[in-house]
Amino acid sequence: MTSVVATALAVVTALCLGRCVIPAWRSHGALVEVWHVAMGLAMVAMLLLPVRREPALLQILLFVVVGAWCTAHLAVRHWSAVHLRLAAACAAMVAMLVPVAFASPASAAAFSGGHHQAAGPLLLHVALLAGTTLIWIFAVRAVVRGESWQMRLGATCEAVMAGGMAYMALLAL
């Protein structure tokens, strides 16, 4: 199942990359798509490769910066469901990576087989599962209500990524 989820995420990441370079495919700015590409690559890597401390720290930094950018966009410019969902997804990614980044060397072996099973407290993973499921619900809602094919395509990509995050949260339970 993990390889199926990773493949779906890779396809969506490629679509987001296409949205970066083909303006007609976009419903939002190119930077939103760049952030989606970065998140998609990180998720595929977390599913298929051992999660190590240094890359986890770099990913945390990236997702904190992206989350802050989304929050600033929401506060300064205007309300945007895309930016809100992306900020929530960044928070979920940080929450998944913190246990790996700050694990003691003795417990690092628990993270050596791809996604970090059983990293962090159970309550955190239940909250991650609930949060990513909510992101998925709102993304699917945006697919149904999308005013253009570009908006529906973007929301579909977000729904697949949120489903991948929910799967990753399930793995950690």
Q: What is the pTM of this model?
A: 0.83
Rounded-to-integer distance, Cα 4 and Cα 164, Å: 10
- Domain extents for the chain? 2-172
29, 8 in Cβ contact below 8 A?
no
Which tens digit of pLDDT belongs to each residue from 33-89? 899 999 999 999 999 988 888 889 999 999 999 999 999 988 887 778 888 889 988
